[in-house]
Amino acid sequence: MEYFVNCNTSTLAPYTTPLDRTKAAHLYRRLGFSASVQTIDLAVTQNAGTLVDNLINQAVAMPPSPAPAWADWNNSNYPADDDQARQVRRAQLEEWRLTYTNALLDNNLRDRMSFFWSNHFVTEIDVYDCNSFLYHYINCLQRNSLGNFRTFVSEIGLTDAMLYYLDGVYNNGNNPNENYARELYELFTLGEGNGYTEEDIIETAKALSGYVERGEIGCSPVAYDATRHDTGSKTILGQTGNWGYDDVINILFQQRPNEIAEFICRKLYEFFVHPDSKDDTGNAQVIIDGMANTFIANDFEIAPVLSQLFRSQHFFDDNAIGVIIKSPYDMYLNTLKETSFAYTDNTLSEINNYTRLLGQELFDPFDVAGWQRDRSWINTNFIIGRWLTIETILETFYQNNNEQFRAFGLSLTGNDGLTSNNPDIIARPIIDFVLPKGLLDEGEYEKAFAAFRSDIDPTYYEGGNDETWTLATWMTAPFQVYLLLQYLARQPEFQLK
């Protein structure tokens, strides 16, 4: 697969051209996990700014996923028998995986952002192994996903999941643990080696100490014990005093606003626009600087930065379309959303199993640095796995209801699907919708057209027969759409968004 150099020279000025289907699909693929043909077509001719504002406002106003019945369970709530307790825990975790996967499908920008933050403020369920902690961690991500980043940093550090994952629960004043202090600077706010020293880490760990009271029952929420907090004087980022947890957050944002803004806005840029933010052939640094200025000017509110980016000419530039490699979740969920094929919780459970096989297990990234994204998704083993699993999913959809393939084709071809007997005219809009920028050249289109024509006698495409082919009426037309989707799923362009 060709490596895409970031040649985007467009600016943050508003994009004012009415959206076409390609631009609208691009917006939904980046702001969420894509959308149905009907949703995307409703966006066609709309003003990008108006649509983006509506999507952001919806995301900001959206309540978090409802709490499950076990949201505040500790170990005393589980069966005394260990095997039974493990079965209950597994069932709860599967329930929450399904709940959250449905949220990714249904909630566009809100849970696209909560998913993004789960790979920034990383925890791993297999480390802390408490389903109640997982629920409250996801709740924190959802509530803060488009809110104030300073508040977000403060809250996430005190979630039980994070306190256990990065050893905050072992951070005693008389024996400081530096894990969370290090990642607070290196991974969460500043970037490795950017604006802090080893001494800052040591002193910050002392200031964060005291959240160590774990209770007598396993999976009990962590509490603060003042007697386990370091009460001595500490110097953090040049500021000296008897600092505690809140002081660390305040000092960090007061003393390093520019570093925080640049670091976070670069991550947002690489996630939403282009994975290469440092190539000097484009305009990426100028865009990131503009986003960072907006971030600081709005007191670290996330929504204004996203609004500025998603409304911009830079975001809608042709050089920004089809240049990010889909994660496993993008690949599967985009297919579900774009085709509108009927799926069940069993489908989503199967998808969660496939993503795990492809290196993206929900709630369990590789390590504290998270999934590395983009080109890491398409090594030799993963690309074959992507082909085989998406083909299996499409086959299951076809076996369950083959007529939904015809309906998908008709939703893209309009009147042509009802009247045209030219299969190439029918196949092209399907190809151009499924692939972010279509195929490379006409020779590649011809190969896809051949896959779509199947083995139907050419005379039926010529008209004038008792039986003339159309997508709407031909008995085996659903199978043709199925064959086309199977063919496209193996093309390099299918791996892109």
Q: What's the pTM value of the predicted model, to 2 decimals? A: 0.97
| Cα angle for residues 337, 341, 343 (degrees, 5° grid) | 90
Q: Are 333 and 32 in contact (CB under 8 A)?
A: no
pLDDT of the residue at 406: 98
**In angstroms, rounded to a whole number, what is the distance separating the alpha carbons of residues 406 and 416?**
13
Half-sphere exposure of 458 (CA within 13 A, CB side): 3
| Cα–Cα distance, 91 to 80 (Å, whole number) | 16
Q: Determine the pLDDT at residue 464.
A: 66
Say what the pLDDT of residue 111 is.
98
The pLDDT value recorded for residue 477 is 98
Q: Distance between the two ends of the chain, CA-based, in angstroms? A: 13
For the segment 208-259, what is each residue's pLDDT rounded down to a tens digit? 999 999 999 999 999 999 999 999 999 999 999 999 999 999 999 999 999 9
Q: Which residues of the chain have pLDDT under 50?
A: 1-2
Write down the pLDDT at residue 280.
Answer: 63
Structure tokens at 65: 């996923």
CB atoms within 10 A of CB 144: 22
pLDDT of residue 491: 97
- Give the residues across from 14 on adjacent strands: 312
